[in-house]
Amino acid sequence: MAPYVAREWGPRATDLMWRIKELADPDFILGPGVVLNRDPGVHLRNLKSTPEIEATATKCIECGFCEPVCPSRNTTTTPRQRIVVRREMVRQPPSSPLLAVLLEQYEHDGIQTCAADGICSSSCPVGIDTGTLIKELRRRERTPREEAAGLRLAQRYEAVERVARGGLRAGHLAASVLGQRAVAEIPAAVRRCVSTDLVPTWPASMPPAAPGRLPDTSRDGTAAVYLPACINRIFGNPGALASHPTLPEALVAVSARGGLPLWIPGDAAGHCCATPWSSKGYARGQAYMARRTAAALWRWSDGGALPVMIDASSCAHGNRTCEIGLEHETGRPYASFVLLLEELTRR
């Protein structure tokens, strides 16, 4: 922009800027030549290349609008930095020592610490979701064995939910007998021996298990299909709250009082938006779960006649944006009949 500053601001304001610059930074140490520059051809030299990277992020103009919203911005990298480093990798020849260092450091600073929540896309002028780029890079890292394990988990998700609730119950029971610190030490020891990625910690704030049974509801006269998110089928109310009503119980009661009764299908367990798989790059598990849930939602909603409500916005978003769905069967995007909670409330 340097050659255009005078044209934009006029000679008086530009002269004023130069005088301030010369007073405050007489040796031109700060941003030398970046905005104030007397060379009229500066914009034609030292051009930065933008090599092509993955299609999802290759249009990035490196404006940085996405940076303030990124949850990892103060931990490792911002979305813009993830893309800039990716470009630098592409610029490097295969034998480059710099490339080796970037690849090594990018694993933690770029890939592992991205929440893959896609919130960066909300402020990007060209609509880039850096989380999608990172999910693509994670998918490339998955081995066939890991993919098979991810698929098995998806195929047995109802059992996984039961085991998770059982683990929560057992953990809380043990904590009440042995104490929180002793119970926390068990997963900590397993994490040290096995993997800090695969084995969760047991924090003092660990919520209790959700009840095994979802509230009884009726299909007759229902205003919407209600699919409680798997996280709300596994975790109950936080410890500081009474254990009842749970979120599904409260939502069913409030909706009925508001004249919009909800129906929870009897076979809701085991269905999920597939985000746990997509965000970690497990393509086979994601495809299986997305198709399974899409088919169930289609069936439960009578082919889209009833709206569908999900009680976690991240899961509703996962369903609405999932590219794997029922387009082939229905001829219209599956996401079009999934409504967010607010949308239902407005009706």
For position 126 contacting ligand SF4 by CB under 6 A, the verdict is: yes
What is the closest distance, in whole angstroms, from the C-beta atom of residue 233 to ligand SF4 in the complex?
Answer: 25
What is the closest distance, in whole angstroms, from the C-beta atom of residue 281 to ligand SF4 in the complex?
Answer: 13
What sign has the CA pseudo-torsion 17, 20, 22, 25?
Answer: negative
For position 79 contacting ligand SF4 by CB under 6 A, the verdict is: yes
Q: 225: helix, coil or strand? A: strand
User: What backbone torsions phi and psi does residue 9 show, to the nearest 5 degrees?
Assistant: -100, -15
Count of CB atoms situated within 10 Å of the CB of 310: 25
For position 61 contacting ligand SF4 by CB under 6 A, the verdict is: yes
Closest CA to 301 of 261, 265, 328, 333: 265
Q: Which stretch binds ligand SF4 (CB under 6 A): 125-133, 186-194, 309-317, 320-328?
A: 125-133
Cβ-count burial of 326 within 10 angstroms (0-12 exposed, 13-18 middle, 19+ buried)? buried
Residues 6+ apart with CB under 8 A from 234: 161, 164, 165, 168, 209, 210
**Of 54, 88, 117, 146, the one binding ligand SF4 by CB under 6 A:** 117
Report the alpha-carbon distance of residue 96 to residue 39 in Å, rounded: 34
Count residues binding ligand SF4 (CB under 6 A): 28
**Of 111, 114, 183, 315, the one binding ligand SF4 by CB under 6 A:** 114
Binding mask 128-167 for ligand SF4 (x = CB under 6 A): x-xx--x---------------------------------
User: What backbone torsions phi and psi does residue 227 show, to the nearest 5 degrees?
Assistant: -105, 100
For position 285 contacting ligand SF4 by CB under 6 A, the verdict is: no
**Of 36, 102, 111, 116, the one binding ligand SF4 by CB under 6 A:** 116
Using CB under 6 A, list all residues that contact ligand SF4: 60-66, 69-72, 79-80, 82-83, 114-120, 124, 126, 128, 130-131, 134
